[in-house]
Amino acid sequence: MWKPAQLLNEDVVLSLRQNGMGELEIEFLGWLNGNASAVNNSKNPVKAAHTLLAKPSNEKMFEVFAAKKKESVRPKQREEHDATSQKFRKLEKWIEQVNEDVEAAREPQWEQ
């Protein structure tokens, strides 16, 4: 999943979480340089965050943010990679077989 750069200070993020702000809202505020700067430099970062989220000008940027999040979770266009996937499955089976062989070799032999 796409996770944007977080430009908010750690103490600001903690303060926002403690005041009930959701992770996506925090990501959004920390994604835009102007918003992050305003919240980071505010004497009351929680109030600043709520003020910024209420601004109509952030609605357009929210649409961009939401589109990027949605695309990262469920891409509209996906390249086919059946041949590569088959190679991965073959490699996984080989690794499993090697691990089984190693485990079998570790088992103590009964002396008779």
Residue 46 structure tokens? 């929680």
CB 40 within 8 A of CB 8: yes
Q: Express each pLDDT in 15-72 by its tens digit.
A: 999 999 999 999 999 999 999 999 999 999 999 999 999 999 888 999 999 999 888 8
pTM listed for this prediction: 0.64
* Residue 12 CB neighbours (<10 A): 22
CA atoms lying within 13 Å on the CB side of residue 12: 25
Residue position matching structure tokens 């499955």: 89
Q: What is the pLDDT of residues 72-97, one digit of tens each?
A: 887 777 777 788 888 999 999 999 99
User: Exposure of 87 by Cβ count < 10 A (0-12 exposed, 13-18 middle, 19+ buried)?
Assistant: exposed
pLDDT level of residue 112 (50, 70, 90 thresholds) = low
Tally of CB atoms within 10 A around 62: 13
